[in-house]
């Protein structure tokens, strides 16, 4: 909310408190001030001048030569180019030497005529033109007839005011008014309020008191109180300048004096008001009711609004004339013809107003106050105040007394039990009781103290205070949160450790980074079409993507089920920005619903996914090359090894729609697939436009059960090993793992002396028949009981070779 410093100072003594200090202290006690704005944009030497004569310029069609009385003792000749200039007008007159936001004004010769100053438009004197009527911004800014000639416009237009921009938290609805804020300022600074806190009946001229005025029918529980006053003899002229300027300082557009008074009093009291043209209210009856099916209303902004049973409507006997607490209807709007009005001051249900406003996409000042909660005591006070102003400023006369209708009890002031010792315990302070008492008194709360327990009565203007903790906050914020000491919790000592799952995630990340992968973070909201590039069939569970009810953009409408599209975007972005290639990974979640539409919280699985794209980094003696299957596999193996899963893991060929069918594998642990990796399918790589890349994904949730932190070292061997290398020629598509598995099987079935076997070279090319390959295997034999003899080793070796020959047609190549 915007707050005029000058206006505020009429309600609370600000003597000696600068706007800066006001802002700092309010912020420190919980009413944050975001900014301070000086209303004067740099105007000096501009006074009220009256155009006495206005003649056509002899040498220019669009200019006029005016004689202006600016109270300087002699008439000033001023050349003016504004289309609306006319004799008799009072306008802001910049005297020679004046300063405007746009620059300095001096004497000047305009087309041969000497001009002693300038007549100004609203924009030229730095007024908030967006808050003015259109005609006020076209040409000169015409001042009211009673503006005193020669008066400096800075005080006249309140340009010497300063505006504070408050960033109010939703609980402090009490600060949405001058009076409410005055209470807060008085409490913070300990200064005096400058207004009468009691509600005053307006001074009326006592005519027409017996006439019937308006009837109210309360037909909905969502309005607890509705009060109205009828006035006549009004006219919708412009408000006095001071009122217009105050409204503008607060960011409210002046309209006419009737509407302006309702807004002015709303800003003063925090109670929204509305004025209807009584001649448009059929049978002078106001009905407060629910909207009807198919009922519509054209609101003041000219939009046709659909009403419904959840909308609280202000109506006459025939039709709706306003949406309660949100916006009035065009059909009962105050116009230049309006002479009689019915002034409304009511308490509408916060939730109902909020829902209606949301449904209609409206967010009026009135609505914001209703939905945060108004002070029920202000309903009548504001009505009286507005009535008084209409009598004083618009020569209005009341018709009858005010009319009130209420459903249920007016909510009484809140009593809260408060213990000073509990307050100190909760804050960790030792604030004296009399300090707390003083704080409550400054806030205007009454306190009944007895035996360490106080009964604190909170005024109705503070609906945010309901329980003791709320009062503890009041004490804390006015005592100063910064004065609270620093301590540490004194309870039992606890030990903080990462659990197994958290260790698995953290160590997986550490290993992947250690092997050279860089971690990325991508968005989880995506678009279903992203799966098209992955050739995912329509029936696939991957297509079960959870949609947002109201997405914000077309690209982000569903939650991801697959990590590849996000990583592919990373690759694409980087390739497009001159990065030749990279290895990246993400640890993130995918979201798999049990069913759609969603009926319960879905499964959120944590995966790690890696992508190798573009080229490797070149180094001395090592050329850049494309990443291949074995780059990805090397990382996967390093990770499995670090986790202690190497012995459990099997690599098997797999077919997945997004991967190359002959260059992809699944990793199986104890018969369970924990992840897959491989080269992208050429179609996918092409669609994603990232070239031949490798993709891996592993499910970390599945893996938690395989984490074992208990393991022991193997004893160092006591006897020497015997290593024999074999090279055999086999069919090209034979997996080398089957050779190793067979070797192991033979050993286990016989002498059990094969300790390990490892492929160290695979060769195709000259000397090897087409369709075949040479595989070089290092076999290590050892016994933990004795040193092996050559015969023992050779015996098993021959058995292995014979088996390979029998099973796979392997030919021994060299020995």
Partner 1 sequence: MEEQLRGLREEALSSLEKVEQNRLLDDWRVQYLGKKSPLTQVSRQMGALAAEDRPVLGGLVNQVRDELQRAFEQAKNQLEERAMEARFAAESVDVTLPGRPRRRGAMHPLTRIIQEIEDVFLGMGFEIAEGPEIETDRYNFEMLNVPKDHPARDMQDTFYLTDELLLRTQTSPMQVRTMERMWPEVPVKVIVPGRVYRRDEDDATHSHAFNQIEGLVVDEGIRMSDLKGTLEAFAKAVFGPHQAVRLRPSFFPFTEPSAEVDVRCIACDGAGCRICKHTGWIEILGAGMVHPKVLDGAGYDSTRYSGFAFGMGPERIAMLKYGIEDIRQLYQNDLRLLRQFSRIL
Within 470-509, which residues bind partner 1 (CB under 8 A)?
470, 472-473, 476-477, 481-482, 484-499, 502, 506, 509
Provide, rounded to whole angstroms, the least separation between the CB of residue 700 and partner 1.
Answer: 12
- Token duo for residue 692: 């031949």
- Token duo for residue 253: 């557009």
DSSP secondary structure string, 113-140? EEEESEE-BTTTTT--GGGS-HHHHSSB
Between 532 and 594, name the residue whose CB sits nearer to partner 1.
594
DSSP secondary structure string, 221-259? TTEEEEEEEEEES----PPPHHHHHHHHHTT-----HHH
Provide, rounded to whole angstroms, the least separation between the CB of residue 732 and partner 1.
Answer: 33
- Token duo for residue 23: 């802002």
Angle at 185 between CA 184 and CA 186, to 5 degrees: 90
Q: What does the CA dihedral 656, 657, 663, 667 come to, rounded to 10 degrees?
A: -20
Site for partner 1 in 335-364 (CB under 8 A): 350-351, 354-355
Provide, rounded to whole angstroms, the least separation between the CB of residue 312 and partner 1.
Answer: 14
Between 253 and 589, name the residue whose CB sits nearer to partner 1.
589
Site for partner 1 in 255-314 (CB under 8 A): none
CA neighbours closer than 13 Å in the CB half-sphere of residue 610: 29
**Of 60, 241, 298, 579, the one binding partner 1 by CB under 8 A:** 579
Beta bridge partners of 773: 730
8 Å CB contact between 584 and 517:
yes
Q: Determine how many CB atoms are found less than 10 A away from the CB of residue 175.
A: 23
Contacts of 417 (CB under 8 A, 6+ apart): 453, 454, 455, 456, 468
DSSP secondary structure string, 332-393? G---TT---EEEEEEEE-HHHHHHHHHHHT---HHHHHHHH---TTHHHHHHHHHHHHHHHH
Provide, rounded to whole angstroms, the least separation between the CB of residue 194 and partner 1.
Answer: 25
**Of 519, 641, 741, 761, the one binding partner 1 by CB under 8 A:** 519
Binding range to partner 1, per CB under 8 A, among 77-85, 223-231, 421-429, 658-666:
421-429
Provide, rounded to whole angstroms, the least separation between the CB of residue 505 and partner 1.
Answer: 9
Provide, rounded to whole angstroms, the least separation between the CB of residue 350 and partner 1.
Answer: 8
How big is the site for partner 1, counted in residues (CB under 8 A)?
Answer: 91
Between 16 and 361, name the residue whose CB sits nearer to partner 1.
361
CA-to-CA separations, 689 to 287, 473, 562, 568, 613, in angstroms, rounded: 66, 58, 18, 9, 11
Q: Of 661, 584, 587, whose CA–CA distance to 627 is shortest? A: 584
**Of 18, 104, 318, 521, the one binding partner 1 by CB under 8 A:** 521
Interatomic CA distance for residues 516 and 583, integer angstroms: 7
Q: Which stretches of 171-222 are assigned E, i.e. beta strand? A: 215-218
Pattern of binders to partner 1 over 120-159, x per CB under 8 A? ----------------------------------------
Q: Determine how many CB atoms are found less than 10 A away from the CB of residue 356.
A: 29
Between 355 and 724, name the residue whose CB sits nearer to partner 1.
355
What is the three-class DSSP state of 581? strand
- Token duo for residue 809: 């047609």
Between 270 and 396, name the residue whose CB sits nearer to partner 1.
270
Sheet strands side by side (includes 772-781): 754-763, 772-781, 722-731, 811-814
DSSP secondary structure string, 384-426? HHHHHHHHHHH--EEEEEEEEEE-SPPPPPEEEEE-HHHHHHH
Between 584 and 640, name the residue whose CB sits nearer to partner 1.
584
End-to-end CA distance of the chain: 90
Between 23 and 54, name the residue whose CB sits nearer to partner 1.
23
Q: What does the CA dihedral 550, 556, 561, 567 come to, rounded to 10 degrees?
A: -170
Confirm or reject binding of residue 520 to partner 1 (CB under 8 A).
yes
**Of 584, 680, 726, 728, the one binding partner 1 by CB under 8 A:** 584
Interatomic CA distance for residues 276 and 334, integer angstroms: 6
**Of 582, 612, 775, 804, the one binding partner 1 by CB under 8 A:** 582
What is the three-class DSSP state of 151? coil
Provide, rounded to whole angstroms, the least separation between the CB of residue 97 and partner 1.
Answer: 34
Site for partner 1 in 386-415 (CB under 8 A): none
Between 60 and 598, name the residue whose CB sits nearer to partner 1.
598
Q: Which stretches of 639-721 are assigned E, i.e. beta strand? A: 649-653, 659-669, 672-680, 694-699
Between 580 and 731, name the residue whose CB sits nearer to partner 1.
580
Binding range to partner 1, per CB under 8 A, among 197-205, 436-444, 520-528, 697-705:
520-528
Between 264 and 613, name the residue whose CB sits nearer to partner 1.
613
Provide, rounded to whole angstroms, the least separation between the CB of residue 180 and partner 1.
Answer: 16
Confirm or reject binding of residue 171 to partner 1 (CB under 8 A).
yes
What values do phi and psi take at 138, rounded to 5? -100, 110
- Token duo for residue 35: 């900014």
Site for partner 1 in 442-461 (CB under 8 A): none
Provide, rounded to whole angstroms, the least separation between the CB of residue 497 and partner 1.
Answer: 7
Q: Determine how many CB atoms are found less than 10 A away from the CB of residue 572.
A: 15
Binding range to partner 1, per CB under 8 A, among 137-145, 423-431, 695-703, 746-754:
423-431
Between 137 and 429, name the residue whose CB sits nearer to partner 1.
429
Between 485 and 537, name the residue whose CB sits nearer to partner 1.
485
Provide, rounded to whole angstroms, the least separation between the CB of residue 328 and partner 1.
Answer: 22
Binding range to partner 1, per CB under 8 A, among 9-17, 266-274, 326-334, 567-575:
567-575
Q: Determine how many CB atoms are found less than 10 A away from the CB of residue 708.
A: 10
Interatomic CA distance for residues 494 and 56, integer angstroms: 90
Provide, rounded to whole angstroms, the least separation between the CB of residue 558 and partner 1.
Answer: 10
Provide, rounded to whole angstroms, the least separation between the CB of residue 277 and partner 1.
Answer: 32
Site for partner 1 in 611-640 (CB under 8 A): 617, 619-620
**Of 2, 10, 27, 279, the one binding partner 1 by CB under 8 A:** 27
Binding range to partner 1, per CB under 8 A, among 118-126, 188-196, 581-589, 646-654:
581-589
Provide, rounded to whole angstroms, the least separation between the CB of residue 475 and partner 1.
Answer: 9
Site for partner 1 in 534-553 (CB under 8 A): 546-550, 552
Between 210 and 494, name the residue whose CB sits nearer to partner 1.
494
Between 589 and 687, name the residue whose CB sits nearer to partner 1.
589
Site for partner 1 in 641-670 (CB under 8 A): none
Distance of CA 3 to the CA centre of its chain: 24
Name the DSSP class of 305.
E
Between 337 and 599, name the residue whose CB sits nearer to partner 1.
599
Between 477 and 744, name the residue whose CB sits nearer to partner 1.
477
Rg of the chain taking only CA atoms, in angstroms? 42
Interatomic CA distance for residues 357 and 294, integer angstroms: 18
Site for partner 1 in 586-615 (CB under 8 A): 589, 591, 597-602, 604
**Of 84, 123, 285, 429, the one binding partner 1 by CB under 8 A:** 429
**Of 426, 642, 668, 721, the one binding partner 1 by CB under 8 A:** 426
Beta bridge partners of 763: 774
**Of 217, 417, 513, 762, the one binding partner 1 by CB under 8 A:** 513
């Amino acid at each position: 909310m915007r707050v005029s410093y000058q206006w505020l100072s009429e309600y609370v003594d600000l003597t000696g408190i600068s706007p800066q200090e006001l802002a700092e202290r309010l912020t420190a006690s919980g009413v944050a001030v975001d900014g301070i704005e000086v209303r004067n944009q740099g105007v000096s030497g501009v006074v009220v001048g009256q155009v006495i004569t206005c003649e056509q310029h002899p040498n220019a069609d669009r200019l006029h030569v005016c004689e202006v009385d600016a109270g300087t003792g002699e008439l000033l000749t001023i050349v003016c180019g504004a289309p609306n200039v006319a004799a008799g007008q009072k306008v802001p007159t910049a005297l020679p030497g004046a300063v405007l936001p746009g620059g300095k004004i001096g004497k000047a010769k305009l087309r041969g005529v000497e001009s002693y100053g300038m007549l100004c438009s609203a924009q030229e004197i730095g007024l908030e033109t967006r808050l003015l009527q259109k005609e006020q911004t076209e040409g000169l800014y015409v001042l009211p007839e009673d503006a005193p000639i020669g008066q400096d416009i800075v005080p006249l237009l309140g340009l010497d005011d300063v505006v504070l921009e408050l960033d109010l938290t939703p609980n402090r609805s009490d600060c949405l008014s001058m009076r409410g804020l005055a209470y807060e300022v008085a409490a913070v600074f300990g200064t005096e309020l400058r207004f009468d806190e009691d509600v005053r009946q307006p001074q009326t001229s006592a005519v027409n008191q017996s006439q019937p005025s308006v009837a109210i029918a309360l037909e909905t529980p969502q309005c607890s109180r509705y009060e109205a006053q009828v006035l006549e003899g009004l006219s919708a002229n412009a408000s006095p300048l001071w009122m217009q300027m105050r409204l503008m300082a607060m960011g409210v557009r002046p309209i006419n004096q009737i509407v302006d008074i309702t807004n002015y009093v709303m800003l003063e009291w925090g109670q929204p008001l509305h004025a209807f043209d009584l001649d448009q209210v059929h049978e002078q009856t106001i009905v407060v009711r629910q909207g009807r099916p198919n009922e519509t209303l054209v609101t003041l902004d000219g939009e046709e609004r659909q009403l419904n049973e959840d909308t609280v409507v202000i109506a006459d006997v025939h039709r709706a004339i306003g949406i309660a607490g949100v916006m009035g209807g065009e059909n009962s709007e105050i116009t230049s013809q309006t002479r009689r009005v019915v002034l409304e001051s009511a308490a509408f249900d916060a939730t109902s107003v909020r829902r209606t406003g949301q449904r209609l996409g409206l967010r009026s000042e009135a609505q914001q106050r209703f939905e945060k909660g108004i002070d029920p005591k202000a309903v009548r006070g504001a009505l009286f105040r507005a009535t008084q102003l209409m009598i004083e400023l618009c020569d209005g006369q009341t018709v009858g007394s005010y009319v009130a209708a209420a459903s249920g009890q007016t909510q009484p002031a809140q009593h809260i039990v408060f213990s000073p010792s509990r307050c100190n315990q909760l804050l960790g302070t030792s604030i004296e009781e009399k300090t707390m008492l003083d704080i409550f008194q400054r806030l205007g709360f009454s306190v009944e103290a007895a035996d360490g327990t106080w009964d604190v009565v909170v005024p109705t203007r503070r609906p945010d205070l309901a329980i003791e903790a709320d009062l503890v906050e009041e004490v804390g914020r006015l005592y100063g949160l910064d004065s609270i000491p620093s301590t540490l919790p004194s309870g039992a000592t606890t030990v903080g450790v990462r659990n197994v799952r958290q260790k698995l995630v953290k160590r997986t990340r550490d290993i992947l980074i250690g092997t050279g992968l860089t971690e990325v973070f991508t968005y989880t909201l995506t678009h279903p079409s992203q799966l098209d590039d992955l050739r995912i069939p329509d029936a696939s569970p991957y297509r079960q993507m959870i949609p947002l009810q109201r997405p914000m953009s077309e690209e982000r409408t569903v939650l991801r089920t697959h990590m590849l599209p996000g990583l592919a975007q990373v690759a694409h972005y980087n390739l497009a920005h001159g990065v030749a290639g990279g290895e990246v990974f993400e640890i993130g979640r995918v979201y798999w619903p049990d069913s759609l539409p969603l009926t319960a919280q879905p499964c959120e699985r944590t995966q790690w996914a890696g992508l190798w794209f573009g080229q490797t980094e070149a180094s001395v003696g090592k050329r850049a090359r494309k990443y291949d299957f074995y780059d990805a596999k090397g990382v996967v193996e390093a990770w499995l090894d670090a986790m202690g899963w190497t012995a459990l893991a099997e690599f098997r060929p797999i077919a997945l729609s997004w991967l190359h069918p002959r260059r992809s594998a699944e990793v199986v642990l104890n018969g369970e697939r924990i992840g897959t990796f491989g080269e992208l399918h050429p179609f996918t790589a092409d669609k994603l436009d990232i070239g031949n890349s490798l993709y891996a994904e592993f499910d970390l949730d599945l893996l938690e059960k395989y984490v074992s932190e208990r393991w022991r070292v193997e004893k160092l061997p006591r006897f020497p090993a015997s290593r024999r290398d074999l090279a055999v020629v086999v069919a090209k598509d034979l997996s080398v793992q089957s050779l190793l598995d067979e070797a192991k099987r033979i050993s286990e079935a016989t002498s059990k002396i094969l300790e390990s076997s490892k492929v160290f070279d695979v060769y195709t090319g000259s000397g090897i028949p087409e369709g075949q390959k040479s595989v070089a295997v290092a076999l290590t034999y050892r016994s933990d009981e004795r040193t092996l003899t050559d015969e023992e080793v050779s015996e098993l070796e021959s058995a292995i070779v014979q088996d390979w020959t029998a099973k796979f047609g392997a030919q021994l190549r060299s020995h």
